[in-house]
Amino acid sequence: MKLSEIADFLSLDYKGEDLEIKALNSLLRANFMELTYCDGEKNIKDIANTGAGAILIAKEYEHLVPKHTKVLISSNAHLHFAFLSKIFANSLISDVKEKKQQIAKSAKIMPNVYLGNNILIGENVIIMAGAYIGDNVEIGDDTIIHPNVVIYNDTKIGKKCHLLANCVIGSDGFGYAHNKNGEHYKIYHNGNVILEDFVEIGACTTIDRAVFDSTVIKKGTKIDNLVQVGHNCHIGENCIIVAQSGISGSSELGRNVIMGGQSATSGHLKIGNFATIAARGGVSKNLDGGKVYGGFPIMLQKDWLKLQAKIALKFKEK
Amino acid sequence: MKLSEIADFLSLDYKGEDLEIKALNSLLRANFMELTYCDGEKNIKDIANTGAGAILIAKEYEHLVPKHTKVLISSNAHLHFAFLSKIFANSLISDVKEKKQQIAKSAKIMPNVYLGNNILIGENVIIMAGAYIGDNVEIGDDTIIHPNVVIYNDTKIGKKCHLLANCVIGSDGFGYAHNKNGEHYKIYHNGNVILEDFVEIGACTTIDRAVFDSTVIKKGTKIDNLVQVGHNCHIGENCIIVAQSGISGSSELGRNVIMGGQSATSGHLKIGNFATIAARGGVSKNLDGGKVYGGFPIMLQKDWLKLQAKIALKFKEK
Amino acid sequence: MKLSEIADFLSLDYKGEDLEIKALNSLLRANFMELTYCDGEKNIKDIANTGAGAILIAKEYEHLVPKHTKVLISSNAHLHFAFLSKIFANSLISDVKEKKQQIAKSAKIMPNVYLGNNILIGENVIIMAGAYIGDNVEIGDDTIIHPNVVIYNDTKIGKKCHLLANCVIGSDGFGYAHNKNGEHYKIYHNGNVILEDFVEIGACTTIDRAVFDSTVIKKGTKIDNLVQVGHNCHIGENCIIVAQSGISGSSELGRNVIMGGQSATSGHLKIGNFATIAARGGVSKNLDGGKVYGGFPIMLQKDWLKLQAKIALKFKEK
C-alpha cells in the first residue's frame, strides 16, 4: 500500500515523496519499507533510532524523527495505527485450493482435526481429536497436541512439547486504541507465538500472540492450567508458572523463575533469573533475580510473612 | 402444565381455580400465564407488584400476594422452583428432522462446525472449525467465531464481534437451591446471552446465560481471556474487562468501566460509568462512576496506595 | 520390566535378586510387584510401612526400608522416578483395530465426537458435539457431556452429572522432578479422575488426574467455571466451588465445604466439613469445619472484616 494511499485512508495530509509500505512494525524494528507509530512519552527516546520508512506521530514530536523516515502527522497515532492494523492483518483463513502440508509419516493425526496451509509437522507428532492447526504452523518432533487445542496461524512449536487439552496458543492480544468518545478499536496482531523445545502448556491456558515480533516461551518452561500469558511476553528457560497465574503484556521473566498459583505481573516489567513469586504475589515493578517475593504490593516473601504476623498481633492487642 | 399438576408434582396443596402455566419467571417479569417464586426477605417488597399467574411462597408472606396471583404455599420455595426449572427447561438439542437455518451466502463455515436449528447467520460471518452453534442462535454481519467456541442455544450476537478460541457463551449460571440435608438442586437457566455489536470475547472466557431474561454485554465492550461473567450481569457500552477478572451474577457495570486483571465483583451490585477498578480490586459494594478504585476491601486506588505505604512504613519502624 | 533393567535404564547399581516390576506406586499403596520412591523428609515415616517390591531411595534412608523391599540407591529419587513414569505411562491413544464400546441405545451421541476404546456409556447419556471421550472412560446414566468437553482416559463419571462446555477432566497434573541444572522432568500421571453422581463441572474448568490413585469429586458437588482442581485432591460431598477458585494438589475438602470466588488452597491440606471460605480467601493451613474463613493469610472471616476496618481507621487518623 502506498504511503499516499494510507494518508488518504486515514484522512491525513501527506505531501512528500511516495513510498510502498509493506507492513507495520514497532519503532525499533521497522525497516525502510515499514510504517511505525509513536503514541507518546514512553517511546520518545526511540524515535531517533527508528529505521522505519514512515511514522505516524503527533506534531509536537515531528522534530525528533530522523531524516530517512517520512512523517504522517496524527493527533491520535495509536488510533490511526489501529485502523491500519486491520488493513495489514494477515487473513485468518487461507483460501488456497491445495494446501501445502509437510507432515512426517510417523506423525499421527486423529479425527476431526483441522490442518491449515503451509504447515510443517515433525516426526512422531501426535495431534489429538478436535485440535485446530492454523496456517504456517510448525510443530517439532515428538510434540503432542492434545484434544481441542487451538493453535493459531504462524505459531512455531519446538520438539517434545505437551500442549494440554483446550489450551489456546496465538490468539490476538488484548490491545485497543481509543477515540474521543471512549470507543475502542482493535489492534490486529501480526506477530506470533514461539514455544521452544520441552515446553508444556496446561489445559485451558491462553498464550497471546505478539503485536509484532513474538511472544516467546523458552526451552523447558512448564505452564500449568488456566494461566494467561499476554502479548509480547518473553518467558525464560525452565520457568514454572503455576495455575491461574497471569503475566501481563511485554513482561520478561528470566530463567528458572517460579510464579506461584494465582500470582500475576503488570505489563512491561522484568523479573530476574531464579526469582520465585509466592502464590498470589502481585508483581508491579522490576524484581532482582535469586530472591523469593510475595504479597501485593510485592515485597520479599519473608517480609510479607513478618508484616502479616505484625499486623495480626498489633490489631489483636486493641 | 396445569397449576394443579404442578402442585401434585411438588406434593403441595392447591385447591383454588386451575390455570395453565406456560413458563417460570421472576417476580417482576412474570405474566398471568407464568409462575414465579419468592424465597425470602430480599424480594418481599416486589410481591405486591407481581403480575404472575401463580407464586410459590412461604405461608408467612401469603398475605402480601396480590389477588390476581394464585398461591402455592411452600416451606422451601427456592427448592420447589429448582424442581420446576428442570421441567420447564428448554431442551439442549432439538429433534427436528430438517433444521431451519438461514445462513448468508457470503458466510464461511469451516469444517467440523455444529450448527443447530432455527439459526440466523449474517453476511460475511466466519465460523471457524470445531465451533458449536446451538439452536435459535443469531449472529450478526461480519462477526467471527473462532475455533472450538461454544455458543449455547438462544444466544444473540451482534455485528462485527470477535469471539476468540474456546470461549463459552450461554452456559447455565451457577445457581442451586438446597434441601435440609445440604444437597444442591440445579436451577435450569432459561434466559440467554446477548452480545451487542463490536463486542470481543477472549479465549477461554465464559459468559453465563441468565436464569430468566438476558445476560447482556453492550456495544463495544472488550473482554480479555479467562474472564468469568455470571448470570444476569449487565455490562455497559465500551467497557474493558482484563484477563482473569470475575463478575458475579446480576452485577451491573455502567459504560466505559475498566476492570483490571484478576479483579472481581460480588453479585448484585452496581458500578457507575467511567469507573476504573485497578488490577486485583475486589468490589463488594456499589461504586460511583468516574473514579479509580483498588484493593480488597475496595477503596479509592490512591487511598489503597497510601495505605499500603503507611503499613509498610509503620511496621518497618519496629 | 525387570528391576535389573530399570537399574540399567537409570544407570544405577543393583546386584540383588531380580524382580518383575508391573507398575509404579506411592509408598503406602505399592504392592510387591510395584516400585515406589521416597524423596525426602516428609515421607520418611512411611518407609517402614511400604509393601513395595522395590524402592528408589537415598543412601541415607536405606536402613529404614523393610526387608521385603529391594533397594535402588539414588541420589535423586524423584528425578529417577520421573524418568520411569514416562516408561510406565499409559498410552494416550489405543491402537486397537476394533474398539470395544458399550453404549446404551438410549444414549445420544452428537456429530464430531471422539469415542475411545473400552468405554461404557449409560442410559440417556448425551454427548454433545466436539466432545472427546478417551479410553476406558465410564459415564453413568443421564449424564450430559456438553460441547468440546475433553475427558481423558480412565475417567469414571457417575450418574446425572453435567459437564459444561470446554471443561477438561483428567489432564496430567502439574508435577515435575528437577535435575541439578534446574531442568524439569515431567511426572507422567497414571492415576485418574472419579466424578461421583450429581456432580456438575463448569465451563473451562480443569480437573487434573492423580499421579497414582484418583482425584475424587464426591456426590453432589458443584463446581463453577474456570476452576482448577489439582492432582490427587479429594473434594467431599455437596461442596460448592465458585468460579476461578484453585485447589492445589492433594488437598482434601470435607462435605458441604463452600469455596468463594477466586479463593484458593495450598497443596496437601485439609478443610473440615461445612467450612466456608469467603471469596478471595487463601487457605494455607488445615482448617476446622463449621466456620467461615476469609483473607490471606486465612483467618476467621469476622476477624478479617474487623481487621480491615481497624487498619482503615488506624491509618486514616494520621
| CA distances in angstroms from A78 to A91, A230, A247, B220, listed in the order given | 22, 19, 23, 18
Q: Which CATH number applies to A3-87?
A: 3.40.1390.10
The confidence score (pLDDT) of residue C315 equals 78
Distance between CA atoms of C174 and A260, rounded to whole angstroms?
Answer: 12
Question: B226 vs A206: CB contact, 8 Å cut-off?
Answer: yes
Distance between CA atoms of B149 and B132, rounded to whole angstroms?
Answer: 6
Active site residue A78: no
> Which residues on chain B are in Cβ contact (under 8 Å) with A262?
262
| CA distances in angstroms from B245 to A244, B173, B265, C227, C274, listed in the order given | 11, 16, 9, 13, 27
Query: Tens-digit pLDDT profile for chain A (318 aa)?
Result: 999 999 999 999 998 899 999 999 999 999 999 999 998 778 899 999 999 999 999 999 999 999 999 999 999 999 999 999 999 998 898 888 899 999 999 999 999 999 999 999 999 999 999 999 999 999 999 999 999 999 999 999 999 999 999 999 999 999 999 999 999 999 999 999 999 999 999 999 999 999 999 999 999 999 999 999 999 999 999 999 999 999 999 999 999 999 999 999 999 999 999 999 999 999 999 999 999 999 999 999 999 999 999 988 887 755
A244: nearest CA in chain B? Answer: B244
Backbone angles phi, psi at A287, to 5 degrees: -130, 135
Distance between CA atoms of C235 and C214, rounded to whole angstroms?
Answer: 11
Q: Pick from A203, A220, A279: which is nearest to C171 by CB?
A: A203
Backbone angles phi, psi at C305, to 5 degrees: -60, -45
Distance from CA of A114 to the nearest CA of B (A): 7
- Measured between CB atoms, does B308 come within 8 Å of chain A? yes
> Which residues on chain C are in Cβ contact (under 8 Å) with B114?
110-112, 129-130, 147
Choose, from B78, B189, B231, B234, the residue flagged as catalytic.
B231
Nearest in space to A146 (alpha carbons), one of B81, A157, C284: A157
Segment (H or E) for C299: strand C299-300
Buried b or exposed e, range C259-271, using 16+ CB within 10 angstroms: bbbbbbbbbebbb
Distance from CA of B4 to the nearest CA of A (A): 47
| CA distances in angstroms from C301 to B212, B283, B287, C282, listed in the order given | 33, 17, 23, 11
* Residue A318 near residue A312, CB atoms below 8 Å: no
Decide the pairing of beta strands B184-186 and B176-178: antiparallel
B281: nearest CA in chain C? Answer: C280
The confidence score (pLDDT) of residue A106 equals 98
Distance between CA atoms of B13 and B5, rounded to whole angstroms?
Answer: 11
Nearest in space to A311 (alpha carbons), one of C183, C284, C306, C283: C306
- Measured between CB atoms, does B159 come within 8 Å of chain A? no
Buried b or exposed e, range B118-136, using 16+ CB within 10 angstroms: bbbbbeebbbbbbbbbbbb
| CA distances in angstroms from C214 to C196, C206, C208, C211, C239, listed in the order given | 12, 15, 10, 8, 18
Distance between CA atoms of A286 and C132, rounded to whole angstroms?
Answer: 42
The confidence score (pLDDT) of residue B268 equals 95
Fold of B102-302: UDP N-Acetylglucosamine Acyltransferase; domain 1 (2.160.10)
Q: How does the average pLDDT of chain C come out, rounded? A: 96
Give every residue of chain B whose pLDDT is below 50, as ranges.
none
Beta strands per DSSP E along A5-53: 23-24, 34-37
**pLDDT tens-digit profile of C169-205?**
999 999 999 999 999 999 999 999 999 999 999 999 9
- Which residues, at least 6 apart from A92, have a Cβ–Cβ distance to it below 8 Å? A134, A153, B126, B128, B144
Kindly list the partner chains of chain A, i.e. chains with 3 or more CB atom pairs below 8 Å. Answer: B, C
Q: Which amino acid is at A110?
A: M
The DSSP annotation for C104-147 comes to -TT-EE-TT-EE-SSEEE-TT-EE-TT-EE-TT-EE-TT-EE-T
Show me where the domains of chain B are located: 3-87, 102-302
**pLDDT tens-digit profile of C59-82?**
999 999 999 999 999 999 999 999
Residue C40 has pLDDT above 80, yes or no: no
The confidence score (pLDDT) of residue B317 equals 58
Q: Is A171 exposed, middle or buried (0-12, 13-18, 19+ CB in 10 A)?
A: buried
Distance from CA of B112 to the nearest CA of A (A): 6
Can you read off the three cell numbers belonging to residue B209?
446465560
Within chain C, where are the H helices? 3-9, 44-47, 77-88, 301-317
**pLDDT tens-digit profile of B141-195?**
999 999 999 999 999 999 999 999 999 999 999 999 999 999 999 999 999 999 9
Residue C127 has pLDDT above 80, yes or no: yes
C-alpha C263 chain-centroid distance: 19
Classified as helix, coil or strand, A291 is coil
Q: At what angle do helices B301-317 and C301-317 cross, to 10 degrees?
A: 90
Distance from CA of A153 to the nearest CA of C (A): 21
Higher pLDDT, C39 or C26: C26
Q: Pick from A205, A230, A264: which is nearest to B262 by CB?
A: A264
| CA distances in angstroms from B213 to B189, B208, B232, B234, C303, listed in the order given | 10, 12, 7, 11, 39
User: How many CA atoms within 13 Å lie on the side-chain side of B28?
Assistant: 5
By annotation, the residues of C acting in catalysis are 231
Distance between CA atoms of C197 and C9, rounded to whole angstroms?
Answer: 43
Question: A240 vs C176: CB contact, 8 Å cut-off?
Answer: yes
Question: B162 vs A184: CB contact, 8 Å cut-off?
Answer: no
> Which residues on chain C are in Cβ contact (under 8 Å) with B262?
262
- Backbone region of residue C78 per phi and psi (left: phi > 0; alpha: psi in -120 to 50; beta: other values): alpha
The confidence score (pLDDT) of residue A28 equals 93
Q: Find where cell 487457605 sits.
A: C283
* Residue C77 near residue C37, CB atoms below 8 Å: yes
- Measured between CB atoms, does A87 come within 8 Å of chain C? no
C308: nearest CA in chain B? Answer: B297
C211: number of Cβ within 10 Å: 23
| CA distances in angstroms from A253 to A216, A273, A283, B227, listed in the order given | 10, 7, 12, 24
Mean pLDDT over C43-47 rounds to: 91
Q: Is A248 exposed, middle or buried (0-12, 13-18, 19+ CB in 10 A)?
A: buried
Q: How big is the A-C interface in CB pairs under 8 Å?
A: 125
The confidence score (pLDDT) of residue A317 equals 59
Matching CATH topology for B3-87 and B102-302? no
The confidence score (pLDDT) of residue C317 equals 58
Distance between CA atoms of A286 and A271, rounded to whole angstroms?
Answer: 6
User: How many CA atoms within 13 Å lie on the side-chain side of B14?
Assistant: 24
